[in-house]
Chains A and B, each alone.
Chain A
């Protein structure tokens, strides 16, 4: 048993690490994707081009405009002698702040202050963000008198700056690890089938368990190496905090990698060649990524889709990584999600075991 495992470990590592393309897939692609996705997949909007219209002597309006630009979300654009609407229409500005005709200073003195904000909303998500930023700035500049009203004291926990990278990076980590392990595992067994070496292996005096362990343990180890790599890249490039204990992260990653490698093995028991394995991997990967809650909250999905999302191992891993890294790792959240992943791993490994044939039929 030990000898067989060692034989496969040496062979798979030699094969995986010798091929330059494979090395790139294993060690360079995860870091590059981490960097690209970490920056690109962002729900924050910065650099909103804002034109501010007010009378030259309107001190309050100028103060308000300055606060907009000081927020970091908005950058000033000159009006170029155009009307506010024309600025938006021509695409020279994303938003226009218009003070009242007689000046904001005078208007607010009369108690009827009203500023107009024109927002270009062809991208609804962006427009909503602009509106929310504008409201928060207005609320800071002109606090509402709280006579009898309820003042809302909002505190943002775990990610006070609401930086989306802090939220996205753990998700991207999960995506990358899933991609690498699923593709690598499913392709590896399929390649043996395609190249005829499978015939040699099943004719050798090995048990099904030995063959399956030999073909999976190397990829669990490579997957774990990728976890470490991606974690390091995440914390170095994006300053993602790691508030929870490291052992929680390590255990969650280990269980998750075993789960995805089992899924890859299951795919390879269904496929006859590498193309089928690749296709199978992608049929798994796309829904797994979209339903994982990395980009869209699972809670917002229709009930039927939500049930499918509950079958997605990536969803549990992303929940785990976010809970451990950002919130410090609540024991119950940790234990329940790890348990679900472990159950999935056991189920898929048993299915692979049952489906694996030591014959060519």
Chain B
């Protein structure tokens, strides 16, 4: 699998009156979990949408690479999967129907689809709920179905916008185990989260606050440099500093 990389340089985006992103320069590389960490309203979703090509930056640019070579977005797009933060599955379709819909969208051959769907259903433990409609799934199951639809085409880049938001702790752990497995296959994974404890599970974190990058690097090194015990502390300190 060709390793995909994304580099943003000076990306700014205004949404209405809010400056959602302000000069964001980041690098995302394959083979690890890239965490986009920040409180609500930090600009995580806006950045995700820009990476997925759903929004265009007002200023700055996004560059893509495949196997170390610079490539246009159109070349990465077909194997890029994006899971939006808000509910984006069809409430009236069942788990199996979702898989079939995305199978046909991606044009997967039956011999590719059958083993992969079976594997995903067993890993996510959604097999017993094949015929359940998305509207009747629990929060965790819903997110896992969303992830399954993304993974069906075995993407080279995976953009997950707050996939564990509102999911119970056990399901969250299962979710992360799934992601580790993918990361080891050299898939580029960008995951955003407002849960600070999840930041420590990433191989690289990018801290975002108020549309700006605070810092970016390995979680342990970052915390050591800041002299903080955890990411909660880091963000709380910042919030305090901003208070008059």
Q: Which residue of A lies closest to B89 (CB)?
A: A197
Please determine whether A15 and B92 come into contact, CB atoms closer than 8 angstroms: yes
Q: Which residue of B lies closest to A2 (CB)?
A: B107
Contacts of A206 in B (CB 8 A): 105
- Mark interface residues in A1-42 (1 if CB within 8 Å of B CB, else 0): 001101100110011001100000000000000000000000
- Mark interface residues in B75-91 (1 if CB within 8 Å of A CB, else 0): 00111111010111111
For residue B52, CB closer than 8 A to chain A, the reply is yes
Determine which of A197, A204, A205, A359 lies in contact with B55 in the assembled complex, contact meaning CB atoms within 8 Å: A359
For residue A156, CB closer than 8 A to chain B, the reply is no
Most buried by B among A6, A11, A200, A202: A200
Given A3-B104, A15-B90, A205-B106, check contact A199 B56 (CB 8 Å).
no
CA gap between A10 and B100 in the complex, in Å? 9
Please determine whether B84 and A205 come into contact, CB atoms closer than 8 angstroms: no
- Interface Cβ pair total, 8 Å cutoff: 78
Q: Which residue of A lies closest to B146 (CB)?
A: A200
For residue A304, CB closer than 8 A to chain B, the reply is no
CA gap between A15 and B93 in the complex, in Å? 7
Please determine whether A360 and B55 come into contact, CB atoms closer than 8 angstroms: yes
Most buried by A among B80, B91, B92: B92
For residue A361, CB closer than 8 A to chain B, the reply is yes
Contacts of B52 in A (CB 8 A): 203
Determine which of A196, A205, A358 lies in contact with B88 in the assembled complex, contact meaning CB atoms within 8 Å: A196
- Mark interface residues in B157-168 (1 if CB within 8 Å of A CB, else 0): 000000000000
Contacts of A3 in B (CB 8 A): 104-105, 107
Please determine whether A361 and B56 come into contact, CB atoms closer than 8 angstroms: yes
State the 4 A-B residue pairs at the shortest beta-carbon distance, nearest first: A7-B104, A196-B88, A205-B78, A203-B82
| 10 more A-B residue pairs beyond the given contacts A10-B104, A204-B105, with a C-beta to C-beta distance below 8 A | A3-B105, A3-B107, A4-B105, A10-B97, A11-B90, A14-B92, A197-B89, A200-B89, A203-B52, A205-B77
29 interchain pairs (CB within 8 A)? A3-B105, A6-B104, A7-B104, A10-B97, A10-B104, A14-B97, A195-B87, A195-B88, A196-B84, A196-B86, A197-B88, A197-B89, A197-B90, A199-B82, A199-B88, A200-B149, A202-B54, A203-B52, A203-B53, A203-B80, A203-B81, A203-B82, A203-B84, A204-B105, A204-B106, A205-B79, A359-B54, A360-B49, A361-B56
Q: Residues of A with Cβ closer than 8 Å to B? A: 3-4, 6-7, 10-11, 14-15, 18-19, 195-197, 199-200, 202-206, 358-361
